[in-house]
């Protein structure tokens, strides 16, 4: 299984390298009216799915559906719906909702834009995006499992992508499940899945779904490398290949906490303000190429890292406290995967998330990846587990769909 997933990933990457961008502006435009019932399908269109190895074991659609912002305002979100042609044996067809890993903040980075091509590269800007989740989607389809991949709020659609905003990402995941069941025309068990940004989105969905969508039959959640404590995460990635993600996060939170923008503006020099503006339109590969390895100390007026300058500000503390995952109780089993030597998402905050959930009485477990440290801050210890541990997550999810009792390692 691991070799198959890695081969699929390489095939998708190879197909994406030289594919020009093909925007779908009409589909991604804000609809005249957004339904106030979350999960309502607003529009759908069949799409091709290239870059996979062999024939796709399913059909694909690009879907626009309703969700809600953190304040309850209805919003349109896009995603990709994949229906397997392989039968699922053991009951109704289950659905895995995938939260993508970090894609970037420009609208061109939306995963649903990548499925027909495997990825996009705009020669005029150098903006490159790759369908990282395509290989995992195919692997699920081969098991007869339905897949829905959300684009998240503001990624592809109008507005700022609210990167690592736990409530809005959780809502996009949960309402993606509702939209998938609506397209399928049947009910069945649901699982949330994601790595990195997607791991945080999946973890948030696990916490929120019991109150937000109690009608869903959630079998479990696989949250890999979840950024649960943003203060710890943003400090950890400063100066690594993922420094640009700090800009993604600030831009997203400034859109929801207007008071935060004034705090950041006061601390930032002209370079810092320029970086925030630039990353707001970039995909991850382009942003890593331009800003990877740099420090936010280059963004501030006094030359200290941004977290040291603003970390104790009451506005900033409020954002971190609001966005912490682990303060609510998942309503179904959760498996958290974390690499002990993860160079982007610190292991300690992932293990603390499981401890917090266990203390609240949740059915939670921690799987630890023991890959030795690969120096350089390039993210190898963060990225590799997404593929190498895929089989662990798949087996765990299949057991949840089959009703196999869990073996939580709380305590």
Domains of the chain: 2-229+330-401 (3.40.50.1820), 231-321 (1.10.260.130)
Nearest C-alpha neighbor of 147 from the set 116, 176, 109 = 176
Please give the structure tokens belonging to residue 104. 């970037």
CA atoms within 13 A on the CB side of 241: 18
Burial 173-194 (b: 16+ CB within 10 A, else e): bbbbbbbbbbbbeeebbbbbbb
Helices (H) and strands (E) in the chain, counts: 16, 11
CA triple 382-387-393, angle to 5 deg? 100
Region for 244 from its dihedrals, namely left if φ exceeds 0, alpha if ψ lies in -120 to 50, beta otherwise = alpha
What's the confidence (pLDDT) of residue 54?
54
Per DSSP, the three-state class of 9 is helix
- Residue 323 in contact with residue 353, Cβ under 8 Å? no
Q: How many residues does the chain have?
A: 411
Please give the structure tokens belonging to residue 175. 């309402």
Region for 312 from its dihedrals, namely left if φ exceeds 0, alpha if ψ lies in -120 to 50, beta otherwise = alpha
DSSP label at residue 131: -
Distance separating the N- and C-terminal Cα atoms of the chain: 31
- Does the predicted TM-score (pTM) go above 0.85? yes
The string of DSSP letters for 111-125 reads: HHHHTTTSEEEETTT
What's the confidence (pLDDT) of residue 129?
74
Q: Could you give the C-alpha distances from 240 to 37, 47, 292, in angstroms and in order? A: 41, 36, 6
Q: Estimate to the nearest angstrom the gap between the alpha carbon of 282 and the chain centroid.
A: 16
CA 51 – CA 13 distance, rounded (Å) = 8
pLDDT tens for the chain, residues 1 to 411: 444 443 434 343 333 333 333 445 589 999 999 999 999 999 999 998 864 445 678 899 999 999 999 999 999 999 999 999 999 988 999 999 999 999 999 999 999 998 887 776 666 566 777 788 888 999 999 999 999 999 999 999 999 999 999 999 999 999 999 999 999 999 999 999 999 999 999 999 999 999 999 999 999 999 999 999 999 999 999 999 999 999 999 999 999 999 999 999 999 999 999 999 999 999 999 999 999 999 999 999 999 999 999 999 999 999 999 999 999 999 999 999 999 999 999 999 999 999 999 999 999 999 999 999 998 778 899 999 999 999 999 999 999 999 999 988 886
CA atoms within 13 A on the CB side of 384: 16
């Amino acid at each position: 299984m691991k070799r198959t997933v890695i081969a699929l990933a390489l095939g998708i990457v190879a197909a994406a390298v030289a594919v020009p961008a093909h925007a779908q502006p009409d589909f991604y435009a804000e609809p005249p009216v957004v339904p106030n019932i979350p999960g309502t399908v607003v529009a759908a269109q069949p799409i091709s799915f290239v870059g996979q190895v062999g024939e796709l074991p399913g059909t694909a659609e690009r879907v626009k559906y309703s969700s809600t912002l953190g304040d309850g305002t209805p919003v349109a979100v896009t995603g990709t719906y994949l229906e397997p042609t392989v039968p699922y044996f053991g009951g109704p067809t289950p659905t895995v909702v995938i939260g993508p890993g970090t894609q970037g903040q420009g609208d061109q980075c939306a995963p649903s834009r990548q499925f027909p091509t495997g990825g996009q590269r705009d020669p005029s800007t150098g903006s490159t995006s790759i369908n990282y989740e395509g290989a995992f989607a195919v692997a699920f389809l081969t098991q007869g499992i339905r897949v829905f991949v959300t684009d998240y709020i503001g990624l592809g659609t109008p507005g700022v992508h609210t990167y690592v905003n736990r409530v809005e990402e959780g809502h996009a995941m949960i309402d993606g499940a509702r939209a998938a069941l609506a397209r399928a025309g049947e009910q069945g068990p649901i699982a949330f899945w994601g790595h990195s940004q997607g791991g945080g989105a999946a973890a948030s969905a696990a916490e929120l779904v019991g109150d937000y969508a109690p009608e869903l039959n959630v079998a479990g959640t696989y949250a890999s490398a979840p950024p649960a404590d943003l203060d710890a995460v943003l400090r950890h990635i400063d100066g690594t290949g993922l420094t640009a993600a700090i800009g993604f996060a600030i831009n997203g939170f400034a859109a929801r906490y207007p008071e935060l923008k004034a705090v950041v503006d006061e601390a930032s020099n002209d370079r810092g303000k320029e970086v925030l503006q630039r990353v707001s339109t970039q995909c991850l590969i382009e942003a890593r190429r331009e800003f990877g390895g740099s420090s936010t100390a280059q963004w501030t007026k006094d030359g200290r890292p941004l977290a040291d300058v603003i970390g104790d500000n009451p506005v900033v503390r409020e954002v971190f406290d609001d966005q912490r995952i682990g303060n609510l109780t998942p309503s179904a089993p959760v498996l958290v995967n974390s690499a002990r030597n993860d160079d982007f998402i610190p292991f300690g905050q992932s293990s603390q998330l499981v401890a917090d959930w266990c203390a609240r009485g949740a059915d939670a477990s921690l799987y630890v990846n023991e890959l030795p440290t690969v120096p350089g801050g390039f993210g190898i210890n963060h990225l590799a587990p997404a593929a190498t541990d895929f089989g662990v997550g798949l087996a765990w999810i299949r057991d949840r769909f089959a009703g196999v009792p869990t073996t939580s390692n709380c305590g």
